Chains A and B, each alone.
Chain A
């Protein structure tokens, strides 16, 4: 299908079932979706609607019970765990609700980490530049525990964008922040997204936030209930 060829990210018939005691618990059923390059998509839904699970599957962090996901032209689950990791390292940036900064590393080192993993020699200068871009040029050597929540999330943004990913996956990026700093972080995120032409897929339960994306995919009980904006595959 021509749509899939062009899509940066596509899911076809993705389902996820987990064992829960004696019975099976269906978390996701037959999800089909495609995300075009440069698009900003919000996945919304109530707690337990399966949105975080979907994000994990789209990132290849988790394995679906059925269906397939294509990311940047590669069938994610035809790859092994390590190849998926390599693909993520190349093409995907992450922002998490709980920031997921390494507590033993200072801000600069946290941002350097993905570059170092990719073997980049300019890790330090690139990371510094990125931290300056997110307004933390003065706090390079602060450890996460000495940074506010908003600052931590900005470090996380810098870490996500420093590898210049094609796709940014954000999981409730404001979930741990108060309104003001949450607003600031989101503003920064969209700014960077535009600047760099990154494709964004964001999971949130915040309708206002979702509305800032070009398209909203609504999950209810593990199914796509509706998809506003452009067509769903």
Chain B
């Protein structure tokens, strides 16, 4: 043990272990930072679990709950509370803003406490109940955006309400991490007077119950049997599945990114250990000579590495903790919860990952080290114990695969990532090897190097080292891919949305227009000298059957399909196809034909739900079935900012259902004040400022991207480490060759030129590979995940190779300086 400690000190001083230690620090820091963040969010959710719902069980529906549910709650002696959620314009000081309105009964919340403050930036306190009748509470965002102080009035629908307090904590909002609209809370009794709820309004009705566990369970069982379409029951066990899914997915994405860094670090560890082993073969042989047994050697080096691992992992945990603190700070704005303090568990997990990596990748080569024959001290060629290298790395990759699957919590996902990474490595190594061979081929050498000996020598060296160089090229390419990918997605995602909207695109949506408001609205627009925009009818209906077969969300696996089936659709009717739509299949229906009803659906919807031309679909609209045959598919651009509908039917078939109207229009900046007058005149209208919504979305995205990018930084650092480890691994050989060349009279310029040529070729190849890789992945991401057409990134074809060139040129310069500084004799003696 004492000897192992000394050896650790000696090897550390000699710089043999730095790459290993750094790789471990990066791997552990990367995993711990993400795990710390995830753990705290998860703990917050667990802590808030009983408050998440505001009760022990929560019933939600898009229609008011039938009386029997409330009666059943009372009959079983449970406490009951209700809330109604909708979006509406809140007006004050001549401003109007879209707010998330929540109207609650006095009994709300049944679990957890509301907190409120008498004014902005004043200490808050628990509140026994929500807003009293005739008053509203605004959250901090809304209060400051409207510029109101408690006591002043806010207009909501038809009613002016005094602001009674600033809402600082709403227990069941905690889980909703990505709230965009600020909160306005009011008393449920005041809701009818506002006139906010009209036909077509998107409203969520919530019924909460709480009490003895047994009674709650019995009530839940009773309620579950009576749930209809559009009605859900949430209990602690299945609380907020959509939020949980989102967070879970984000976590596993970040976790996998972190593990990618760990994988790369593992490669660096493997390379570093290999070099360590090669440099210690002689020493081991000497020690065998001096009487050390194999087990002694293994124990010695094993202990040395373990000590190194313990130290490096601890450092990694510290770095990871610091990094997580930064991440939490960045995303604090979107996480509207108080995070609990960090638990030590993530550090433990990171430690474990680090040790598994170290042991998985370094133990097999170390075992080879102990097998070195003692006779090597006399006959150098009876040298490195070869073979088993494949088995050695297999062990490393097996432990990694285990880690990945563990992290992904999903064998399939883990396997995809492991497989994808392995494929990428193999492809990069193979492509790198082929490209290097091609670059070093006789033809190229003749074309380029006819005049310059340095170039000829460099290309010869490239050919000679093509195997180890291919590994270096592949690792550099992996690291570069990560950077390029990030810069593409980051820059282009938002840009693509922006570009999709032409400058004259509508920037306001107006919803909830009631039939009797159409005429006054026209007058309002006319009197203000603005042309009345086209209004579209909107009818809410739920898909109930396809070709006579009832459908439910259980019939679909695809998440989007499930959501579509679960919620209500917006249907519209029109005699002709909307001008910004394109009929892509079938024929637009004859509006006059009074036979069987026909409809046109959006082609994406058809794909998601598996609907084809000729299918008969049935919707439930306001309790009545409406069946129609699909006779055309439409292609449309959702990001055109125009009003679009999934389903359009014939006017005669749909006119008779309860209808609200919707429109979008472009408001010139000088007409901004009009919005406030419009909201004042028609208080039930919801007016969405698209620009502001996009801006908010962008702010959220930016914060998320910063966090993601931070984690990618670890992957990049790990990639660079692999590169460095790979370069260091061949450094001895390069130095030796340079020394031999020097001994034969090559000038510094010729040696440096040869190295420059070699590294430049490698850098270019790596950059090209990275460019191809990043473009391919971003294309898949854009199509599959973001559903966007990314613009061609021509610049990447220049930036990628340039980045590779710059990185390796820097390295060539540093390494040739080192080689040239030394006298040939010293170098030869040192490495001989």
Task: Tell whether A and B belong to one assembly.
Answer: yes
Residues of A within 8 A of B (CB): 52, 55-56, 59-62, 81-82, 85-90, 92, 94, 96, 100, 102-105, 109, 113-114, 116-118, 145, 159, 163, 171
Can you pick out 29 interface pairs between chain A and chain B where the beta carbons lie within 8 Å of each other? A55-B378, A56-B375, A56-B378, A56-B379, A61-B288, A61-B289, A61-B375, A61-B377, A81-B294, A82-B296, A85-B374, A86-B293, A89-B292, A94-B377, A96-B378, A100-B282, A100-B377, A102-B283, A102-B286, A104-B10, A105-B10, A109-B10, A113-B287, A114-B290, A116-B6, A117-B296, A145-B830, A163-B290, A171-B378
Which residues of B have CB within 8 Å of A62?
Answer: 373, 375
Answer whether residue B639 sits at the interface, using C-beta atoms and an 8 A cutoff: no
Contacting residues, chain B, for A86 (C-beta < 8 A): 291, 293
Contact between chains at B379 and A104 (CB < 8 Å) = no
Report A225 CB to chain B, min CB distance, Å: 22
Cβ of A154 to closest chain B Cβ, rounded Å: 17
Residues of A within 8 A of B655 (CB): none
Given contacts A104-B283, A117-B290, A145-B830, are A61 and B373 in contact (CB under 8 A)?
Answer: yes
Provided the pairs A56-B379, A61-B374 are in contact, do residues A104 and B16 lie with their beta carbons within 8 angstroms? yes
Question: B: which residues have CB within 8 A of A?
Answer: 2-3, 6, 10-11, 13-14, 16, 282-283, 285-296, 373-375, 377-379, 826, 829-830
- Which residues of A sit under 8 angstroms from B16, Cβ to Cβ? 104
Dominant SS among interface residues on chain B: helix
Total A-B Cβ pairs within 8 A: 87
Choice from B3, B282, B290, B373 contacting A94 with Cβ under 8 Å: B290
Q: Are A145 and B292 in contact (CB under 8 A)?
A: no
Contacts of B379 in A (CB 8 A): 52, 56
Instruction: Name the distance in Å between B61's Cβ and chain A's nearest Cβ.
Output: 73
**A90 and B291: CB pair below 8 A?**
yes
A52, A114, A118, A171, most chain B CB atoms within 10 A: A114
- Cβ 8 A contact of B3, one of A59, A116, A145: A116
Q: How far is the CA of A118 from the CA of B10 in the complex (A)?
A: 19
A163 to B292, CA, bound (A): 13
Distance (whole angstroms) from the CB of A50 to the closest CB of chain B: 12
12 further A-B pairs in the complex, CB-CB below 8 A; given A85-B294, A86-B291, A113-B290: A82-B295, A86-B293, A88-B290, A94-B377, A96-B377, A100-B286, A100-B377, A104-B16, A104-B283, A114-B290, A145-B826, A171-B378
- Bound together, the chains give a CA A171 to CA B378 distance in angstroms of 8
B11 near A85 with CB under 8 A, answer: no
Q: How far is the CA of A104 from the CA of B296 in the complex (A)?
A: 19
Q: What CA separation (Å) do A86 and B826 show in the bound complex?
A: 35
Q: Which of A89, A102, A109 contacts B291 (CB 8 A)?
A: A89
**A96: which B residues are within 8 A, CB to CB?**
377-378
CB <8 Å contact, A117 and B289:
no
Q: A97's closest neighbor in chain B, by CB?
A: B378
Assuming the A-B contacts A105-B10, A145-B829, are A89 and B290 also in contact, with contact meaning beta carbons closer than 8 angstroms in the complex? Answer: yes
- Least CB distance from A47 to B in Å reads 13
Contact A117:B3 (CB < 8 A) given known A85-B291, A102-B283:
yes
Q: Which residue of A lies closest to B2 (CB)?
A: A116
- Tell me if B377 and A104 are in contact (CB < 8 A): no
Complex: chain A residue closest to B296, CB-CB = A117
Collect the chain B residues with CB atoms within 8 Å of residue A159's CB: 290
Residues of B within 8 A of A56 (CB): 375, 378-379
Q: With CB as the reference atom, state the residue of chain B lying closest to A117.
A: B292
Could you tell me the distance in whole angstroms from the C-beta of B383 to the nearest C-beta in chain A? 14
In the complex, which of the residues B11, B290, B291, B378 contacts A104, with contact meaning CB atoms closer than 8 Å?
B11
Nearest CB in chain A: distance from B739 CB, A? 14
Smallest beta-carbon distance A12→chain B, Å: 21
Question: Which residues does chain A contribute within 8 Å of B377, judged by CB atoms?
Answer: 61, 94, 96, 100
Partner pick for A114 among B291, B294, B826, CB 8 A cutoff: B291
The reply to whether B289 and A94 contact each other, CB–CB distance below 8 Å, is yes
A81 and B289 alpha carbons, distance in the complex (Å): 11
Are the CB atoms of A103 and B292 closer together than 8 Å?
no
Let me know if B291 and A88 touch, CB within 8 A: yes
The chain A residue sitting closest to B286, CB to CB, is A100
Taking the closest CB of chain A, its distance from the CB of B611, in whole angstroms, is 72
Counting chain B CB atoms within 10 Å of each CB, the highest count among A52, A56, A104, A113 belongs to: A104
Kindly list chain A residues whose C-beta atoms are within 8 Å of the C-beta of B294.
81-82, 85
Residues of A within 8 A of B10 (CB): 104-105, 109
> Within the assembled complex, what's the spacing in Å between the Cα atoms of A117 and B299?
12
Report Cα–Cα, A71/B622, bound state, in Å: 103
How far is the CB of A80 from the nearest CB of chain B, in Å?
9
> Please, how many angstroms separate the alpha-carbon atoms of A105 and B10 in the complex?
6
Do B6 and A117 have beta carbons less than 8 Å apart?
no
Set of chain A residues within 8 Å of B286, measured between Cβ atoms: 100, 102, 113
A202 to chain B, nearest CB (A): 13
- Chain A residues lying within 8 Å of B293, measured Cβ to Cβ, are 81-82, 85-86
* CA gap between A118 and B286 in the complex, in Å: 14
Q: Which residues of A contact B282 (CB under 8 A)?
A: 100, 102
Contact between B287 and A59, CB atoms less than 8 A apart? no
A79 to chain B, nearest CB (A): 11
A86 to B293, CA, bound (A): 7
Given the known inter-chain contacts A100-B286, A102-B283, A102-B286, please indicate yes or no for A85 contacting B375, CB distance below 8 A: no
Cβ contacts under 8 Å, B289 to chain A: 59, 61, 85, 88, 94, 100
Distance between Cα atoms of A82 and B374 in the complex (Å): 11
Which residue of B has the minimal Cβ distance to A90?
B291
| In the bound complex, CA of A159 to CA of B375 (Å) | 18
Q: Which 9 A-B pairs have the closest CB atoms?
A: A89-B291, A82-B293, A104-B14, A61-B375, A114-B290, A61-B374, A62-B375, A102-B283, A116-B3
How far apart sit A56 and B826, CA to CA, in the bound complex (Å)?
A: 29
Complex CA–CA separation, A90 to B293 (angstroms): 12
Question: In the complex the two chains form, is A117's CB within 8 Å of B291's CB?
Answer: yes
Whole-angstrom distance between the alpha carbons of A87 and B289 in the complex? 10
Measured between beta carbons, the chain B residues less than 8 angstroms from A163 are: 290
Return chain B residues, CB-CB under 8 Å to A171. 378
Say yes or no: A85-B292 contact (C-beta < 8 A), given A56-B378, A61-B375: yes
B13 neighbours in A (Cβ, 8 Å): 104
Contacts of A117 in B (CB 8 A): 3, 287, 290-292, 296
A180 CB → nearest B CB, Å: 19
